[in-house]
Amino acid sequence: MIRPARSFQGSVTLPGDKSISHRYAMLAGLAEGTTRLSNFSTGADPHSSLACMEALGAKVVHAADKTIEITGTAGVFQQPTAPLDCGNSGSTMRMLTGLIAPHPHTFTLIGDHSLTLRPMERIRKPLGQMGARIELADGHAPIKIQGEPLHAIDFDTPIPSAQVKTAVLFAGLQASGTTSLTESVRTRDHSEHALRTFGATLNRSGEKLSIPGGQRLKAIDATVPGDLSSAAFFLCAALLFPDSHLILDSIGMNPTRASLLDVITALGGKIKVLNVEEHHGELIGTIQVNGPASGPRGMHIGGTLSAQIIDELPVLAAIAPYTRDGISIRDAKELRVKESDRIALVAKNLRAMGAEFTEFEDGLEIPGNQQLHGAQIDSGADHRIAMAFSIAALRATGDTEIQGAEAAAISFPEFFTHLDALCKR
Ligand code: S3P
């Protein structure tokens, strides 16, 4: 149950970035030696990746100081004794398929109901071109893999997807020859940084990435930066209160993720970056945000920007009615194949709170200057929907009940505790 708030103030340190945690877990499992990771994501999704790496022969130890130690398999995965359970995590399923396809075993990858509805042909196709033997059930999980040696390809990604890019890079790392890949839109580049950190060679020439095959990885020591996509909920909350003041510590500011900060600024948020450092190719900084004195402005989000902030679109849509000029989101049809059909669920929940808007196949147009009322929200078991509407609830009249709120634990188990501490009532 979320009660409206009067203001939003405080400082938070966010759990480790989900995307980076997945990649470090998987590469640590493949590498030789013991990787030590601090601030690993507390979300259930990266823990699905960790559990899969254990099933493949990596040793995972949760040390008392909250560090996670992963002793890798030195490039030799074992035959798992059961299907690899990816839970709710598309990242686990897609990236892991590329990582394990060259290993001489049979693998089955399964997931929960939501994951079983998500499209997997997008990875089967390029990996199949590399020689991987992958069987899907009508384009979906369960994924069955008969491991085979792979060969390099030259691949143009038809859909902007960091998960597909990563599946191909992880396979290319272990294939014969040099795999190259050109992206239609430059997506998050955590895999490129992570691969280099674990000792791999990877080249970029213009828009073309290439990775020589037959490479070995070495363990690392690293701290995972705070998750900017989790911070997005609080950044959007800060926009809703003229006197808000928020400090986010040690947050990931990778430029391929940080367009969100431009959006927050365009909506009127006053952002100060207090310091920035680079660790293993990833930028980490402390951000201070103040809300706009005269309320959030509106904007249009489309084109490549939609792909770059795809995970943040639900919360931006949820606060759109409170903006002055509204927010329109287009070119975002990928939202329909995330953990849920996020366009349909945002529409359903905006409607429940009394908002007017127009739904399109690839987005939503949401006029501003609307007052929402408390309602029953259907999270659809989707973490980002549960959190997005918890933020919309802060400025509604009356209380809002989030049904399926526990879904937040997929990426951000501490969300409601932090939200409570930041809200002044
Ligand atoms: C992710 C990439 C995005 C994003 C997901 C995490 C990643 O998915 O939505 O939450 O870690 O690479 P796509 O690559 O399918 O767009």
| Whole-number pLDDT of residue 206 | 86
Mean pLDDT for 329-336 is 98
39-49: pLDDT as tens digits:
999 999 999 99
State mean pLDDT over 375-382: 98
Ligand 1 contact, 89 CB (< 6 A) = no
- Please identify which of the residues 17, 85, 189, 311 carries the catalytic annotation: 311
Rounded Cα distance between 369 and 376, Å, is 22
Residue 286 phi, psi dihedral angles, 5° rounding = -110, 130
Categorize the per-residue pLDDT at 378 as very low, low, confident or very high, splitting at 50, 70 and 90. Answer: very high
Residue 19: pLDDT band with limits 50, 70, 90: very high
The pair phi, psi for residue 189, each rounded to 5°, is -110, 30
Query: Could you report the per-residue pLDDT of 90-126, keeping only the tens digit for each?
Result: 999 999 999 999 999 999 999 999 999 999 999 999 9
Whether residue 397 contacts residue 371, with contact meaning beta carbons closer than 8 Å, is answered with: yes
Q: What is the pLDDT averaged over residues 319-327?
A: 98
Which amino acid residue places its CA nearest to atom 13 of ligand 1? Answer: 161
pTM of the model: 0.98
Nearest CA to ligand 1 atom 9: 311
User: With a 6 A CB cut-off, is 91 part of the ligand 1 pocket?
Assistant: yes
Residue 190, pLDDT > 90, answer yes
The stretches of 5-120 forming alpha helices (DSSP H) are 18-30, 44-55, 90-100, 113-116
Q: How confident is the model at residue 66 (pLDDT cuts 50, 70, 90)?
A: confident
Strand order in the sheet with 59-62: 59-62, 68-71, 34-38, 221-223
112 carries an active-site annotation: no
389 with 376: CB under 8 angstroms?
A: no
Pocket test for ligand 1, best of 91, 259, 311 (most atoms within 8 A of CB): 91
- Residue 412's pLDDT is 98
Helix H or strand E encompassing 402: strand 401-403
Return the closest-CA partner of residue 309 out of 187, 150, 193, 128.
Answer: 187
Confidence of residue 266 (pLDDT cuts 50, 70, 90): very high
For the chain, helix (H) and strand (E) counts, in that order, are 14, 23
Looking at the chain, the whole-number percentage of residues with pLDDT higher than 90 is 97
Q: Say if residue 264's pLDDT is above 90.
A: yes
Q: What is the pLDDT of residue 207?
A: 86
* Position in ligand 1 atom list of the atom nearest CA 94: 15
